[in-house]
């Protein structure tokens, strides 16, 4: 009985705390809710399981200073071939303008079945951009399932 009263008061906003409903969580959820460093680390682990390697000549980055720069998505010059690259060079994220947390947010919303318009609002991009991303992922999924 007491619980019901508490629920009623919460529903009416008269309780000591305001109710936070799932729809409000979804509406409020944005990139700021994600740990940017963890998103970046996780993406780099996925993209480069073997660690930092020059995408041009395949030589591993051994200098601690350059490895740190690479991990922070900075530009690195290969000690072997002299060419420049970042951890995102030649990857899905290259030249997309999405930072790692935005990419995680995009993937999360796509996986949960959110619509293009809703995702566009979350990422601050237009709907057409989201539609192209969705097509790109669908093509990748098809390519990978054919390989397997």
Q: Of 78 and 93, which CB lies nearer to Zn ion in the complex structure?
A: 78
Q: Could you say whether residue 57 binds Zn ion (CB under 5 A)?
A: yes
Stretch that binds Zn ion, among 12-20, 47-55, 62-70, 138-146 (CB under 5 A): 47-55
Three-state helix/strand/coil letters over the chain: CHHHHHHHHHHHCCCCCCCCCHHHHHHHCCHHHCCHHHHHHHHHHHHCCCCCECCCCCCECCCHHHHHHHHCCCCEECCCCCCEECCCCCCCCCCCCCCHHHHHHHHHHHHCCCCHHHHHHHHCCCHHHHHHHHHHHHHHHHHHHHHC
Closer residue to Zn ion (CB): 31 or 69: 69
Site for Zn ion in 76-105 (CB under 5 A): 78, 80-81
Residue whose CB is less far from Zn ion, 44 or 78? 78
Question: Applying CB under 5 A, which of residues 54, 88, 119, 125 lies at the interface with Zn ion?
Answer: 54
- Min dist CB 68 to Zn ion, Å, is 18
């Amino acid at each position: 009985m007491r619980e019901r009263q508490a629920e009623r008061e919460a529903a009416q906003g008269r309780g000591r705390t305001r109710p936070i409903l799932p729809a409000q969580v979804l509406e409020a959820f944005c990139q700021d809710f994600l740990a940017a460093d963890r998103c970046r680390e996780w993406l780099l682990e996925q993209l480069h399981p073997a660690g930092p390697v020059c995408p041009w000549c395949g030589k591993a980055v051994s200098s601690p200073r350059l490895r740190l720069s690479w991990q922070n998505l900075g530009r690195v010059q290969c000690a072997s071939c002299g060419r420049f690259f970042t951890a995102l060079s030649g990857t899905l994220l290259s030249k997309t303008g999405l930072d790692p947390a935005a990419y995680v947010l995009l993937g999360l919303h796509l996986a949960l079945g959110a619509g293009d318009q809703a995702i566009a609002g979350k990422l601050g991009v237009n709907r057409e951009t989201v539609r192209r991303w969705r097509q790109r992922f669908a093509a990748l999924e098809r390519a990978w399932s054919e390989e397997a």
